[in-house]
Amino acid sequence: MSEQGAVIHETAIVHPDAKIGKGVEIGPWTLIGPDVEIGDDCQIASHVVIKGPTRIGKRNRIFQFASIGEDCQDKKYAGERTVLEIGDDNIIRESCTFHRGTTQDESLTVVGSRNLFMVNVHVAHDCRIGSDCIFANNATLAGHVHIGDHVIFGGHAAIHQFGRVGSHAFIAGCAALNKDVPPYVMAAGHYAKPFGINSEGLRRRGFSKEAISAIKLAYRELFRSGKTVEEVIPALESLGEKQPEVAIMVEFLKSNERGIIRA
């Protein structure tokens, strides 16, 4: 176990094979297993369990009672070596649960950087989460879910396994997603339907008026024209040649397999 100036409470149990970076703080009654790497300046509160193989980046804050890197809840899982990777500067609040991957996918669960996970968020096996996202209390991600960057997930919102949410989307509280949500789209309801684009979020992130107008036009073409996704894609491709922000939506639609939410 490498400590390098780490502050480890005397009641914490840290496996000698764990790699602990510089300036890490580990609180009382926390358990760090073997094959765990914790980057510099992380703060791990009391009563946290971190099981490996898990790689955690720098400056993450993990609050009490979180369970990080545990075996997944997939009945097919039979103890194979799978991994959880977490980036930098994430805040993981009380009682969150992050599970490692399965061999049925890529044996890997990935969390990006600068995300906020509020109380009791669940990230299931094989999920891939981008950066700069917010997940409110009790948000639930099933297995194999992919979430883009700058996504906001409301409290108690849930998404079906293999679901996808594109970057800059906004998912309302208590929404139930059984289909994919394209980039920029606001979704709400059970089952969720589209309610325009996340204009306010885009403005706050510095999107130009021209880009937002193009995204609104793409939204109307996709959800209000009565056309199928296949029929809409050529028009969005043309629009994306002028506004690259729309090209992100085109790429998402072309790789879609489960279908998207509909009005």
Which residues are known catalytic residues? 125-126, 143
- Cα-Cα-Cα-Cα dihedral sign, residues 193, 199, 200, 204: positive
